[in-house]
Amino acid sequence: MTDYVKMWENLGMDLKNHDALCQVLPTAFGDVYLSQQNRPQAMAFWDFVVSEIHGIRPSELIEAQKKGQKVFGTFCVYVPDEIVIAANGIVTGLCGGSQFWVPGGEKVLPKSTCPLIKASVGARLDRTCPFFRIADMYVGETTCDGKKKAWEILGQDVPMHIMDLPQMKRSKDIRKWTEEIADFAKVVEEFTGNKISAESLGQAIKTINNKRRALARMYEARKAENIPISGKDALLVMQIAFFDDPVRCAKTVNDLADELEKRIADGVSVFPKGTKRILLTGTPLAIPNWKLHHIIETSGAAVVCEEMCTGTRYFENLVDESKNTLEEQFEAISQRYMKTNCACFTPNAGRIDDIIRLAKEYKADGVIDASLKFCCLYDTEKYKVNAALKEAGIPVLSLETDYADADAEQLKTRIEAFIEMLG
Kindly list the residues in this chain that would bind ligand SF4 in the complex (CB under 6 A): 76-78, 114, 116-117, 143-144, 146-147, 283-284, 309, 342, 344, 372, 375, 377-378
Give the shortest CB-292-to-ligand SF4 separation in angstroms.
Answer: 14
125 contact partners, CB below 8 Å, separation of at least 6: 104, 105, 107, 108
Give the shortest CB-375-to-ligand SF4 separation in angstroms.
Answer: 3
Nearer to ligand SF4, 147 or 211 (CB): 147
Give the shortest CB-371-to-ligand SF4 separation in angstroms.
Answer: 7
Nearer to ligand SF4, 78 or 290 (CB): 78
Nearer to ligand SF4, 117 or 287 (CB): 117
Residue 94, CA distances (Å) to 59, 138, 204, 242, 253 in order? 16, 9, 21, 8, 21
Give the shortest CB-231-to-ligand SF4 separation in angstroms.
Answer: 19
Give the shortest CB-284-to-ligand SF4 separation in angstroms.
Answer: 5
Tally of residues, the chain: 423
105 contact partners, CB below 8 Å, separation of at least 6: 96, 113, 117, 118, 119, 120, 121, 122, 125
Give the C-alpha separation, 202 to 315, whole Å.
18
Nearer to ligand SF4, 40 or 282 (CB): 282
Q: What are phi and psi of 367, to 5 degrees?
A: -120, 135
Residue 210, CA distances (Å) to 119, 213, 318, 350 in order? 31, 5, 9, 24
Nearer to ligand SF4, 257 or 377 (CB): 377
Instruction: For residue 192, give the H/E element and its range.
Output: helix 171-192
Give the C-alpha separation, 179 to 184, whole Å.
9
Nearer to ligand SF4, 216 or 257 (CB): 216
Nearer to ligand SF4, 88 or 98 (CB): 98
Nearer to ligand SF4, 135 or 221 (CB): 135
| DSSP annotation of 300 | T
Residue 399, CA distances (Å) to 32, 292, 423 in order? 21, 10, 20
Give the shortest CB-97-to-ligand SF4 separation in angstroms.
Answer: 11
Give the C-alpha separation, 206 to 85, whole Å.
11
299 contact partners, CB below 8 Å, separation of at least 6: 412, 415, 416, 419
Give the shortest CB-78-to-ligand SF4 separation in angstroms.
Answer: 6
Q: How far is CA 1 from the centre of its chain?
A: 26
Give the shortest CB-327-to-ligand SF4 separation in angstroms.
Answer: 25
Give the C-alpha separation, 150 to 119, whole Å.
11
Give the shortest CB-339-to-ligand SF4 separation in angstroms.
Answer: 12
Which amino acid, residue 365? D
Nearer to ligand SF4, 43 or 236 (CB): 236
Q: Which of 117, 133, 102 is nearest to 15 (CA)?
A: 133
